[in-house]
Amino acid sequence: MLRGAMGGRTAVESVVGAAVRPMTSLVNWAVLGLVIERASYGYELVKRFERKFGDVLALSSESHIYTALNELARRGLVEQAPAQPALPADVGRQPRPHYHATADGERRYEEWLIAQIHQDERRSRLFVRQLSVLAHDPDAALHVVERYEQACLEGSRDAPIASRDDSCEDARGELIARLISEESRLVGEAMLAWVEYARTELEALARDRGGSR
Partner 1 sequence: MSLLELERVSKRRESGAAGRVALREVCLELEPGELVVVWGRRRSGRSTLLRVAAGLEAPDTGVVRFTGHDLAGRAGQALRGGIGHCSTVFRPDDGRCVVDQVMLGLIARGLSPSAGMEGALGALERAGVAECAQLRPGELDGGEAARVAIARSLALRPSLLVIDEPTLGVDLLARDGILLLLRSIADEGMAVLASTGETTGLAGADRALSLGDGQLRGTLSPRLAPVVPLRGPVRPRASA
Contact criterion met (CB below 8 Å) for 32 and 45: no
**How many C-beta atoms surround the C-beta of residue 23 within 10 A?**
16
The rounded Cα 156 to chain-centroid distance in angstroms is 18
Cβ at position 157, least distance to partner 1 in Å: 4
Tell the smallest beta-carbon distance from residue 167 to partner 1 (Å). 15
Q: Which helix (H) or strand (E) covers residue 101, if one does?
A: strand 99-101
Does residue number 207 form part of the binding site for partner 1 (CB under 8 A)?
yes
**Smallest gap, in angstroms, from Cβ of residue 164 to partner 1?**
6
Helix (H, G, I), strand (E, B) or coil at 25: coil
Nearest CB to partner 1, comparing residues 84 and 132:
132
Q: Which is nearer to partner 1, 102 or 156 (CB)?
A: 156
Q: Is 110 in the site for partner 1 (CB under 8 A)?
A: no
Site string for partner 1, 124-163 (x = CB under 8 A): --------------xx--xx--xx-xx-xxx-xxxxxxxx
Helix (H) or strand (E) holding 100: strand 99-101
Could you tell me which of 122, 201, 91, 86 has the C-alpha nearest to residue 209? 201
- The footprint of partner 1 (CB under 8 A) covers 138-139, 142-143, 146-147, 149-150, 152-154, 156-164, 178, 181-182, 185-186, 188-189, 192, 196, 199, 203, 206-207, 210
